[in-house]
Structure 1
C-alpha cells in the first residue's frame, strides 16, 4: 500500500461510483513541494474504529483520529532540518479519467500562530475548514502551483476550471528533532469558517493537544454503538466477521447536524446517503432497530431535501443539484418512512411527510407509471407499485381513506411488470442485473406473485433454478475473465453471490412458498462460503454497509422486509444473540445449535445449516416464520429449537400478503 497523504470524507465500500470526495489532503513531508503527490509505501499499519496509523517510507509515523466534525492528525518526524506539513485544499475525487473533483471557487487565509482557514466550493457545496498546527517556531506560508508565496496571507480564486486549476494550499515548516510530534487539528463546516472554528473549539478545546481525548471519545462512542448487538457461540472467525460487519453497517449515512448549506434552519442534515438502493433493504432497518433516533434524523433530513429540491433522493451526496441515482430505482424513501410510522418512532410531522410521499410518486418515472400503469426499466414498475403500497399504509393510519384506497389500487399494478407465460419479469433493461435477479423481490402481494408463477411448487422450482440448487457446480471466472467467459456465466441467469442489491432478499422468497427450510440452506451456505476474515472476505462491494447489514441479519436468523414492518425468521448462526432496542432487549436463544468443523484458516467450511423445528415468542408457541417489527422493538425473547432435519414449522402460516 502507498499513500500521498491523508484525505477526508470518503465513500464506504461502493463500487463504480466516481464521487469519492477525498478532500483536504494533509501530507507530512521531508521533501520539497515538488514531491507533493508522490506516493510513499506504508509500513506497520494499524486500523481500528476511530484510529488509523502507519509509517511512511520517509520514516514519518502518521496517526489520524476523528470526531463528529473534526479530524486530528499526529505526525512523529525523524530528525530533519526542514520538516513540513502540507495542506492541499485543491484536491478531490479520484486520480482516474472523469474522477477528479475540481473546485469552482476557493479562498484560503493564513492567520499566523499556527492557524489558518479556508473555503472551497466543490460541486456547489462550500466546504470550510479551520486549521491549527501545534508547531512552535515553525513558519507557515501559502503556496500555489507547488511554489511558496512569500509574505502572502490570502489566496482568492473566483473562478476555477479544469484547464486553469493548479494545486494550492498551506504549508507549515521548520526543523524537527528525532521523535518530535506535530499535531494538526481541523474543524469542518458547510456553513463557513467561523462555524468550522467553533466546531473545532467544541471538540478539541482552545489551541491545545487533543488527539488522545478525541480518540478516546470516538472509541467509546463506537464501543457503545457496536455493543447494541451481542452474540454468543460460533467460532472466533465468525464472531470477527460479525463484529466487522456491524462496524461497516454504521459508517454510513453521514450526518452533519445543523450544517446544511442549502437551508438556514437547524436540524439533522444527512449529506451522504449513497445510496438508498444500497441500504434501504437491510441497513436502514438496522438503524431503525438499534439507532432509532439517527434513523428518524435521516428521514427528517430526507423530507427536508424533498421540500427543498422537489423529490426524495435515491442517493444524496455532498453536492448541489438534482438526484443523480434515479436510474437505480424509484421512490425508495417511502419504505423507510412507512416502517418508522408503523413503529411510532420519532416526532415527524406525518401529515406533511405524507404530502411529500404522495407528490414524489408522480415525479420522474412516476408520471409514466401514473398514466400507463407500467414503466421501463421494468424494475421501476415494482418500485413504484411498492411505494404506493407503503404510502397507502401511512395514509390509512392518518385516516385519509380515499387517498389510501386510490394508492392501494395503483399498488396492484405490479402485475403489469410480469410475463404470466414465464412467471418472470418482462423483457426490459435492468440496472446491474437481469430479469432473473429482479424477479424475486419481496413484494407486498407475494401470494399473488406466487400464483402468477403457477403456485408454490412452480415458484420454488424457479428459485431453485436461480440459486442452482441441486445443479452441478459452475466454473468460476478467472482473475481477468474475457468477454466470452463472462457471457457464458451471465447466460446461466443464476444467483451471483450477494454481490449486488437485487439478490439480497431473494433467498427469503422461499418463506412465502412455505419453504423456510430452503431459505436456511441457501442463507447458511452464503454465510459459510462467501464471507471471511482475510482479503476477499466479502462476496462483492459492501455498498455503504448494505452487504454487511445483510450478513448481520442473516446471522441473527432475521430478515427485515423493508416497508412492511416485518421480520422473517430463519435459523441463526449463533447460539444466542441480544439486540438492544432503545431501553429494551430482544433476545434470540436456540437449543440444538451445533458448532461445525473449522478449517486451517479458522473459518467454518461445512455449512452449519440447522433448521428451525419449533419456536416460541415470550413463552407462547410461534407457528409462523415471521414476526412483526413491533414485536422486536417491544423487546422479548424468541426461542428457536434447531435440528438437523426440517420440520413442518413455518410451512402452514405464510407471511402477510396484501392479496389475501
Structure 2
C-alpha cells in the first residue's frame, strides 16, 4: 500500500444509520428524487466482529435490530416508540439495516442491576454511549457503566457498578425478538445449568435453531450464583429444563450472579456460543480467550480483525465528513453475512455455514462482490455453504437466516444464488465443487416461479421473469466452463425469455412488484443490455427514458413525513421516479447509461447521490442499509467502480477520492486520478459540480471502454483516470459486453423478437 494513503478505521462511526434520516435539503438533480420507503438506516451501534457469528448491543426492543427508539416503519419517517435511547439489557445476535425480516434475534439478554429482580425488563436511559468497530459502551441511568466486545463466536461483557448493597448480573435465557406486535421470539425448548465457580451453560431452541452458550464469569469474592424462574430465585436449584414452551405458558427464566458492590466493582462475563451444543460453545470460548485472557484481550483481538480488512482499502483525500461516511460504509459492508465455521446444526460435517444472507436481493448486487474482493476465501465459503444448503434443504435460498423453516423470501426474487455462483466461477474461486453446484443451479431453476417460466417463458411478478432469465444465463456460464456445451446452449436459449417481460413502451409489463413499480425494475443491468436498449427504440430513446426516470428537468419534490400521509404519497407514486437509493431496486440503474454510451450521465447521478443521499450523524442513511448492500453501493461508487452481478464486469466511473489503494483478490489494485477536485457532502456540496472521465489507462494502456473484468480487478493493476469539468467522448463508442454480442450466444433466432419456449 502507498504510504501517503490515509488509513480510515478510526473514522468509522457505528451510530450512522441508527436514527431517522436527517440529511440537509438536497440540491439540483437529487432534489427531484422521491423516497417512499422507510427513511431510517435501521443499523445498530453494537459490538460486531467482521463477518462474525456474534454481535452484542444495548436492547430496547425497538424495530428492527432491537436498538433505538422506533416502532415498525415501512414508509416515510419512522414513528418513535420511545422518547429516548433506552435499554433493558444487552442482547446478542442482531440484524443490520433490515426492515421486516421477521427473525429478530436479540437472544440471551444480560442485564446489570442494582434493583430487585422484579425490576427485570425495566428500560433505563442510555448515557455517554461510545461505539467503534468491535466495541460498544454506555452508562445506564442507574449508574452502571456497561462495555461490550465480541469475537467471531464469543462475547465479553464488563460492568462497573456504583456502591450498592445488592448488585447483580442477570442472564435471561427466555428473551428474544422485539417489543412490537408479533415481534417476540419464544423458545421452543430450553435447558440451563449452573456449574458453580462462576460457570454455567445452556441451550435454547429458537425458530428451530438450537443455540448454546457457555458462560464464565469473573465475579467478586462473596458473590452468589443461582438460577431463577418467573423472577424468583430457585432455592437450591442448579438447573432448569423445559421440554416444550408455548407463548401462553412462557415465564422468564435464567441465571444470576449477585453480591455487594463496594465502589467501582467490576464484573466480567465471558460467553461462548455454538449451534452444536454447550461443549462446542465452551471450546469456542476457550479458543478465543485462553487462560486468563479477558475483556481487554477480546477488544484488542476485535480491533485487529477489523484492521485486517480496513488495511486493504485506503483512500487519499476527502473531507473529514466524506471519509467518515466512506469508512462507516465499509464497516457496515463487513458485518453480514455471518460466517460460522463448523457450526451448522442441520448437517454434521465440518465446513462453512453462513447465515444472515437476509437481503440477498440487494446484497448480490454490491455487498457480495465487495466481500469476495476483500476476502476471496470467505466468498468461496459462502458459495460452498449455499450449495450445501441446497443439498440439505432442496433449494438454493433466496435468503438465509439463523432459523429453521420454509420461509425463504420466495416473494422477493428468484434464482439470485445463480448470479453469485456465476461470479465466483468466473473468478476461479477455489473450494467449491462446481460440478455439484451446476446440478443444483439447474434443478433450482424449475422450482417456485421457475415452473411457470419453463412452461410459458414469462411469470408474474414480472421481475421474477428477469431473475430467472438471468439465472439461466448464469447457469449457462458455469455449464459452458465445465464443458457441457449442449446444456449451455439449452440454458442460453431460455435466458432470452427476458424479452417477454417488456411491453411495447420499452418498460416492464404491468404486474405486481415486491417493492417499487415497473419503472424501478425496468433499468436493471440485464445480461443483454444491447438487445434491451434496441427493444426500447435505441440509444436515444433509452437515454430519454432514463432521463425522465432520474428527474432531469423536473421540479423538486416533497418527501414523505411521518405517517399517516396526505396526498403527497399518491403524488410521489405517480412520478415513477428514481427513489434516490431509498429503495434498493434502483441501485444499479445509474449505470444503465454506460450501455447507451452516456457515462457522463452516470457521473452526474452518482455524484448527486454521494453528495446528498448520505451524511454523518445518526440520520446519515437515506433508507434501510439492507445488511450492508446500500453501504457497499457507497463504497463502490466512491471508488469509481460498480459490479455487474453475474457478468464478471466492473463499470468505471469518476471516483470521489483522488486516489485509492486496494487489496482485491489478494493483489494490489490502485486507482489514481488527475484533475480531481475535492467535493464534500450535504451542504458542503451544494455548489459542487460533477467531474467527468476524459480518458483512462489500465496498466499503462489506453482504456477506451467503460469497464474492466472481475479478473482484472482481482488480478491487480493500476487504473489511471483523467477527470475534467465537462463531458467527453470517452467510452461513448465501445459499450460493455452483452449476451447478443457473442456469436455463440446468438444462435437460436433473432435477438429482439418475443421468445417463447
- Under a length normalisation based on structure 1, what TM-score does the superposition of the two structures give? 0.98
1:357 is aligned to 441
SS of the counterpart of 1:141?
strand
Matched, 1:50 2:134: yes
Aligned-pair CA distance for 1:474: 1.5
Aligned-pair CA distance for 1:347: 2.3
Q: Determine if contact 2:318/2:680 at 8 Å carries over to the other structure.
A: no
Matched, 1:139 2:220: no
CA distance in 2, matches of 1:273, 1:228: 23
What residue ranges of structure 1 are gaps of 5+ in the alignment? none
2:626 is aligned to 543
Aligned-pair CA distance for 1:597: 6.6
Superposed counterparts of 1:463-612, under 5 Å: 463-480=546-563, 482-596=565-679, 603-612=684-693
Q: Determine if contact 1:313/1:323 at 8 Å carries over to the other structure.
A: no
SS of the counterpart of 1:630?
helix
1:320 is aligned to 404
Aligned-pair CA distance for 1:213: 0.5
CA distance in 2, matches of 1:108, 1:288: 39
Matched, 1:389 2:470: no
Aligned-pair CA distance for 1:460: 0.6
1:247 to 331, 346, 352: 331
CA distance in 2, matches of 1:598, 1:463: 25
Aligned-pair CA distance for 1:209: 4.9
SS of the counterpart of 2:305?
helix
1:635 is aligned to 716
Superposed counterparts of 1:420-459, under 5 Å: 420=504, 422-459=505-542
What residue ranges of structure 2 are gaps of 5+ in the alignment? 1-84, 742-757
Deviations 1:200-251, CA, capped at 9 Å, x for gaps: 1111124x35101111011011011122111101211101100000000000
1:379 is aligned to 463
CA distance in 1, matches of 2:309, 2:626: 20
1:369 is aligned to 453
Matched, 1:182 2:267: yes
Matched, 1:3 2:87: yes
1:222 to 302, 306, 309: 306
Aligned-pair CA distance for 1:12: 0.4
Q: Determine if contact 1:309/1:322 at 8 Å carries over to the other structure.
A: no
Aligned-pair CA distance for 1:539: 1.0
Aligned-pair CA distance for 1:37: 0.6
SS of the counterpart of 1:424?
coil
Deviations 1:614-641, CA, capped at 9 Å, x for gaps: 0111110110011111111111111000
CA distance in 1, matches of 2:564, 2:617: 23
1:163 is aligned to 248
Moved more, 475-484 or 90-99: 475-484
Q: Determine if contact 2:322/2:680 at 8 Å carries over to the other structure.
A: no
1:265 is aligned to 349
Deviations 1:388-442, CA, capped at 9 Å, x for gaps: 001101100101001000000000000010002x111001000111000000010
Q: Determine if contact 1:235/1:604 at 8 Å carries over to the other structure.
A: no
Superposed counterparts of 1:271-420, under 5 Å: 271-420=355-504
Q: Determine if contact 2:322/2:681 at 8 Å carries over to the other structure.
A: no
Deviations 1:459-504, CA, capped at 9 Å, x for gaps: 1111111110121111222344515221111111101110122100
CA distance in 1, matches of 2:268, 2:617: 33
- The number of residues matched between the two structures is 656
1:17 is aligned to 101
CA distance in 2, matches of 1:220, 1:613: 40
CA distance in 2, matches of 1:21, 1:344: 35
Q: Determine if contact 2:319/2:680 at 8 Å carries over to the other structure.
A: no
1:173 is aligned to 258
Change (3 A) 1:598 1:164: closer
Deviations 1:160-185, CA, capped at 9 Å, x for gaps: 01111111100110011111110001
Change (3 A) 1:452 1:598: closer
Aligned-pair CA distance for 1:349: 1.1
SS of the counterpart of 1:425?
coil
Q: Determine if contact 2:125/2:141 at 8 Å carries over to the other structure.
A: yes
Moved more, 340-349 or 380-389: 340-349
Change (3 A) 1:74 1:209: farther
Matched, 1:213 2:297: yes
Q: Determine if contact 1:528/1:606 at 8 Å carries over to the other structure.
A: no
SS of the counterpart of 1:659?
helix
CA distance in 1, matches of 2:264, 2:581: 47
2:148 is aligned to 64
Aligned-pair CA distance for 1:605: 3.2
CA distance in 1, matches of 2:168, 2:238: 18
Matched, 1:95 2:179: yes
Deviations 1:532-583, CA, capped at 9 Å, x for gaps: 1123211111000000000000010000001000000110000001110244
CA distance in 2, matches of 1:596, 1:330: 39
Superposed counterparts of 1:610-625, under 5 Å: 610-625=691-706
Deviations 1:512-541, CA, capped at 9 Å, x for gaps: 010000000011000001111123211111
Q: Determine if contact 2:418/2:471 at 8 Å carries over to the other structure.
A: yes
Moved more, 429-438 or 316-325: 316-325
Superposed counterparts of 1:18-33, under 5 Å: 18-33=102-117
CA distance in 1, matches of 2:366, 2:421: 14
CA distance in 1, matches of 2:472, 2:485: 14
Change (3 A) 1:323 1:565: farther
SS of the counterpart of 1:518?
helix
SS of the counterpart of 1:419?
coil
Q: Determine if contact 1:446/1:657 at 8 Å carries over to the other structure.
A: yes
CA distance in 1, matches of 2:399, 2:665: 28
CA distance in 1, matches of 2:547, 2:145: 53
Aligned-pair CA distance for 1:343: 1.0
CA distance in 2, matches of 1:607, 1:408: 45
Change (3 A) 1:449 1:607: farther
Q: Determine if contact 1:525/1:607 at 8 Å carries over to the other structure.
A: no
SS of the counterpart of 2:628?
helix
- Under a length normalisation based on structure 2, what TM-score does the superposition of the two structures give? 0.86
Q: Determine if contact 1:378/1:428 at 8 Å carries over to the other structure.
A: yes
SS of the counterpart of 1:573?
coil
Q: Determine if contact 1:314/1:323 at 8 Å carries over to the other structure.
A: no
2:315 to 208, 220, 231: 231
Larger relative contact order, structure 1 or 2 (CA cutoff 8 Å, min sep 6):
2
CA distance in 2, matches of 1:339, 1:582: 13
Over the residues paired in the alignment, what is the CA RMSD in angstroms? Answer: 1.2
Deviations 1:302-353, CA, capped at 9 Å, x for gaps: 1100000000111101111224311110010111111111111222111111
